[in-house]
A = this chain, B = another copy of it.
Amino acid sequence: MTVAKQSVSARPLSKQRLRLWLRLLRAARGIESELRERLRKDFAITMPQFDVMAALARKPDGMNMTELSRMLMVSNGNVTGIIDRLAVEKLVQRQAPATDRRSFIVRLTPKGASQFAVVAKAHENWVDELLAGFDAAEADHLIEMLGGLASSGRGETQS
């Protein structure tokens, strides 16, 4: 019947963390939905498609489906559909590596690369606008605080 260590305002720590989680989720969803809407209206592209192109833009030599799904933290089957649709638009292409007939190397087409460059620039400007409330110091601070959370399992250290 001993009361666990909880001094002063210690009791509601779990409530406070819950509030933090709700804030984090709300912030991310708000920004995400704004970005998604702009991508759709201005470039007729979805955010998952943009995310895939962004991942591929970092790897000129391409990646296979598994690497893509791990980097984007989405399921294997999900990537199949997104790549399928990007391939129809000739923005990405699948290439068979002679060594392993199970996998594909996916990469941006020239059309995909040049189109991505344009969209990425607009995207960066939008983010800059939506996060205008943060100066360099605050951004650094937040980035560091959020750093520990990201990888809840295997972590892709990208840059």
> Does the CB pair A127–B32 fall under 8 Å?
no
A73 contacts B by Cβ under 8 Å: yes
Number of chain A residues whose Cβ lies closer than 8 Å to a Cβ of chain B: 50
> Does the CB pair B138–A152 fall under 8 Å?
no
> Does the CB pair B133–A148 fall under 8 Å?
yes
Residues in B whose Cβ lies below 8 Å from that of A145: 134, 138, 141-142
Q: Which chain A residues have a beta carbon within 8 Å of chain B's beta carbons?
A: 9-10, 13-21, 23-34, 73, 124-125, 127-128, 130-136, 138-143, 145-153
Given A14-B128, A23-B147, 20 extra CB contacts under 8 A: A10-B136, A13-B136, A14-B127, A16-B139, A18-B127, A18-B128, A19-B143, A20-B142, A21-B131, A23-B146, A24-B27, A24-B28, A24-B142, A26-B151, A27-B149, A30-B153, A133-B148, A134-B145, A138-B145, A142-B145
